């Protein structure tokens, strides 16, 4: 898919106030660590994740998505009646029905003729929403669209810790399928796309390449962030990187780019081993990349666009940069987007303080 008139106009984001270190999590895992004689520090060494953040346990994803969406709209200074589509794309949702997009739409005060829905595609949900909205803009169906999402990983991490400590059937081998759940964090992001005629930034979204390698759909399964996630991490990483390499070849051809044309990259935030193998396979220098997994963990569908927002805010992405967004999600699905960057419109920060201290993880 190639676009002539789609711009990534603005980004909004919200980070949880509470920080939980990997060291804290490993202290909570003392029973299973002692039983299986696992060395303390193993989790951080394997993943490169020092800490992650959590929203309060009673936080609804839609509440935070509303905040992030409002940030993007305000910094873009766009009239709300121009927004013809609202997509909520995170794994986490408020309820099975109605769509979480409904409460966000209501809170943002968008028009009644705005198309609203949730989309689910594991860690690629928000990127999928971006592609759908970009298609609508390119076809002239809408002038602008907002894609939002909030991942809240607290309950998944808590449930995983409890199971690891109490399930006596777990051993050094089968425990590996639950480790990926301990890398999950929380975060929220909003992406505002618009027609070039409305844009003040002229940050052009030029290309979207997708590839579905569903032979590997069973490597990572979860009934939701509040339940358990079973992941064959090593197989998923190897198959995901191989799928990514195949997608990247198609992406370069479709974008009419050479490897040397790419100035900056943003990829899905999994961990240090995944990032190293991915960049080796793609023949790219990790110096082009901006990573957040060290301090945010894996924030699911929010991870890649949230990292983009933080990279822009940190000055990693500059005017004139060609940016490759490299998305790989369980399924296995791969989506890669090409951006030509001109001007930064980002607004976000830490969630507002609450009236009482947030409970500790657990």
Domains and CATH numbers, the chain: 1-350 (3.40.47.10)
Q: Assess contact for 351 and 14: CB atoms under 8 A.
A: yes
Q: What is the pLDDT of residues 171-223, one digit of tens each?
A: 999 888 888 899 999 999 999 999 999 999 999 999 999 999 887 676 566 66
- H or E element in which residue 222 lies: strand 220-222
Within 10 A of 84 (CB to CB), how many other CB atoms are there? 21
Q: Assess contact for 140 and 198: CB atoms under 8 A.
A: no
The C-alpha atoms of residue 84 and residue 273 are separated, in whole angstroms, by 40
Q: What is the pLDDT of residues 126-137, one digit of tens each?
A: 999 999 999 999
The C-alpha atoms of residue 246 and residue 279 are separated, in whole angstroms, by 13
The pLDDT value given to residue 324:
98
pTM over 0.85: yes
Q: What is the pLDDT of residues 116-157, one digit of tens each?
A: 999 999 999 999 999 999 999 999 999 999 999 999 999 999
Catalytic residues: 97, 123
The tokens for 208 are 């979207």
pLDDT of residue 73 exceeding 90: yes
The lowest-confidence range among 6-15, 69-78, 320-329, 348-357 is: 348-357
Least Cα distance to 152 among 101, 100, 187 occurs for: 187
């Amino acid at each position: 898919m190639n676009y002539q008139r789609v711009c990534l106009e603005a980004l909004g984001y919200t980070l949880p106030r509470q920080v939980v270190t990997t060291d804290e999590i490993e202290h909570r895992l003392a029973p299973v660590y002692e039983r299986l004689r696992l060395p303390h520090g193993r989790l951080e060494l394997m993943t490169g994740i020092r800490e992650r953040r959590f929203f309060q346990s009673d936080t609804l994803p839609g509440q935070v998505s509303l905040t992030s969406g409002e940030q993007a709209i305000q910094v873009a200074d766009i009239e709300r009646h121009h927004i013809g589509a609202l997509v909520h794309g995170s794994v986490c949702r408020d309820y099975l029905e109605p769509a979480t997009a409904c409460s966000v739409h209501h809170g943002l005060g968008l028009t009644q003729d705005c198309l609203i829905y949730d989309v689910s595609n594991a860690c690629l949900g928000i990127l999928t929403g971006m592609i759908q909205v970009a298609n609508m803009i390119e076809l002239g169906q809408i002038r602008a669209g907002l894609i939002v999402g909030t991942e809240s990983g607290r309950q998944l991490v808590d449930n995983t810790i409890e199971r690891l400590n109490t399930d006596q059937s777990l051993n050094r081998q089968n425990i590996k399928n639950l480790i990926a759940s301990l890398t999950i964090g929380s975060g929220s992001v909003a992406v505002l796309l618009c027609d070039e005629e409305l844009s003040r930034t002229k940050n052009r979204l030029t290309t979207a390449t997708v590839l579905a390698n569903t032979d590997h759909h069973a490597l990572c399964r979860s009934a939701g962030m509040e339940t358990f996630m079973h992941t064959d991490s090593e197989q998923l990483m190897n198959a995901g990187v191989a799928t990514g390499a195949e997608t990247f070849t198609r992406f370069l051809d479709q974008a009419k780019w050479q490897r040397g044309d790419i100035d900056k990259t943003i990829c899905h935030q999994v961990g240090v081993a995944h990032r190293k193998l991915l960049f080796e396979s793609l023949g790219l220098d990790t110096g082009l990349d901006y990573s957040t997994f060290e301090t945010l963990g894996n924030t699911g569908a929010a991870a890649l666009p949230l990292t983009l927002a933080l990279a822009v805010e940190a000055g990693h992405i500059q005017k004139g940069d060609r940016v490759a967004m490299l998305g790989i999600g369980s399924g296995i699905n791969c989506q890669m987007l090409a951006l030509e960057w001109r001007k930064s419109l980002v607004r976000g920060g830490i969630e507002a303080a609450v009236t009482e201290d947030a409970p500790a993880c657990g």
